Amino acid sequence: MTDAFIYDAARTPRGKGRSDGSLHEVTSLALSARLLNAVKDRNGLEGNAVEDVIWGNVTQVKEQGGCLARSAVLASDLDERIPGLSINRFCASGMEAVNLAANQVKAGAGSGYIAGGVEMMSRVPMGSDGAAIAVDPTVAMNQYFVPQGISADIIATEYGFTREEADKLAVESQNRAARAWQEGRFARSIVPVKDQNGLTILDHDEYMRPGTTMEDLAKLKPAFKDMGEVMPGFDKVAMLKYPHLDRIEHIHHAGNSSGIVDGAAAMLIGNEEFGKAHGLKPRARIRATAKIGTDPTIMLTGPVPVTEKILADSGMSIGDIDLFEVNEAFAAVVLRFMQAFQVDPGKVNVNGGAMALGHPLGATGAIIIGTLLDELERQDKTVGLATLCIASGMGAATIIERV
């Protein structure tokens, strides 16, 4: 079978996902189009150069609705003969875009793709597209729906993670992200966001809080305790699903959960001929991809079974992986991953993660593959695995191998 290679990885800095965030003034369309232009320019893509633009995006309403991918192609300098596909697999949308592109390349359906995603969380609020799983009783009640924060707290309760462990991981994420910026480790990927006049709007990740201490985090109140214990009482729903639990430990808060931010990411994926045709050197091979459905109530445990699956599918073992990116949706998700595979914490999220830098839903999957690749190159290691937990109980993973 044909190999699929990563030729480029680019991302915007992440802006605070609030009305006072730096990127709040930028439309989802403009952010997408300008990043597509950067990929085009960085790689000299002229004409009908790629088969498709696959764009992950979760909240597909209003300006992110109506197949934003196609609008972004048309708003960019890309050729109009390049179509666009908006896809949604919640938090793994950006990864799914990359995987879909890679697998089509491997199958011979097109030689090159741009794949990535965008989420302007300050402009199109999370959840504003509705969700049957949360409100339609035929699924919400029968599947014991609880919000993600409750799910993360269930993981902590079930697998015995304390508030202190979660906070420690959050502090570590902040420290690593700060070091990464100090040392310019994101330099290759970052494409500053500029306005229509070429003036810079944002050139750094602005959500992070370097120097955050355990004491700072200790002041934060658990974010999901009230909705769990009082109104509307999701803990009771959780206990229907997990009758061995006496209570849910609410350990998560804003500091040890992923940040709400604006941002976009894109990768250029293609086969060997694609690289030759455009004079590009492949950076890594996409060795394997996987996705899996898991228990929707605890919801966020997907990284463990999907990692088991991707390793089994590709005939690898956990020891074959040099570095990991496990999306920091909530501290407990990463703690559970490290606990399950007993991996060295030094190999996981080397440059921090979403707790420090933020999690622009539709883009994160592509961002972490790019971050993984940059770090493999920096450390001169070979194989990396990226994985994310996904709403409604799913998991996705990608294994890349430098070439």
Residues near other proteins (CB under 8 A): 127-128, 130, 134-138, 140-142, 144-147, 231-234, 236-237, 239-240, 243-247
Q: How far apart are CA 162 and CA 357, in angstroms?
A: 23
Q: How far is the CB of 167 from other proteins (least distance, A)?
A: 25
CA-wise closest residue to 361 among 320, 326, 329, 313:
329
Residue with tokens 């969700």: 131
* 213 CB-contact burial (10 Å; exposed 0-12 / middle 13-18 / buried 19+): exposed
* CB distance 23 to 201 below 8 Å: yes
Taking the least distance from each CB to other proteins, the nearer of 137 and 319 is 137
- In the three-class reduction of DSSP (H, G, I as helix; E, B as strand; rest coil), residue 198 is classed as coil
Q: How far apart are CA 52 and CA 116, in angstroms?
A: 11
What positions carry a catalytic annotation? Answer: 91, 359, 389
Report which residue type is found at 135: V
Taking the least distance from each CB to other proteins, the nearer of 137 and 198 is 137
- How is residue 191 written in tokens? 């494409």
Taking the least distance from each CB to other proteins, the nearer of 235 and 322 is 235
CA-wise closest residue to 381 among 359, 350, 355:
350
- How is residue 16 written in tokens? 């605070």
Q: How far is the CB of 241 from other proteins (least distance, A)?
A: 9
* CB distance 259 to 6 below 8 Å: no
Q: How far apart are CA 260 and CA 248, in angstroms?
A: 24
Taking the least distance from each CB to other proteins, the nearer of 110 and 125 is 125
15: DSSP letter: E
Q: Sign (positive/negative) of CA torsion 203, 205, 211, 215?
A: positive
Q: How far apart are CA 82 and CA 61, in angstroms?
A: 23
Paired strand residues for 81:
none
Q: How far is the CB of 232 from other proteins (least distance, A)?
A: 3
- How is residue 268 written in tokens? 């250029």
Q: How far is the CB of 139 from other proteins (least distance, A)?
A: 9
Q: How far apart are CA 238 and CA 245, in angstroms?
A: 9
Hey, which bits of 203-260 come out as E strands?
A: none
Q: How far is the CB of 154 from other proteins (least distance, A)?
A: 14
Taking the least distance from each CB to other proteins, the nearer of 134 and 220 is 134
Taking the least distance from each CB to other proteins, the nearer of 86 and 297 is 297
Cα angle 69, 186, 289 (rounded to 5 degrees) comes to: 55
Taking the least distance from each CB to other proteins, the nearer of 145 and 324 is 145
Q: How far is the CB of 26 from other proteins (least distance, A)?
A: 24
Q: How far is the CB of 29 from other proteins (least distance, A)?
A: 23
Taking the least distance from each CB to other proteins, the nearer of 246 and 380 is 246
- H helix runs in 76-199, sequence order: 93-106, 132-135, 137-140, 148-159, 163-182
Residue-by-residue DSSP string for 358-391: ---HHHHHHHHHHHHHHHHHHHT--EEEEEEEET
Q: How far is the CB of 242 from other proteins (least distance, A)?
A: 9
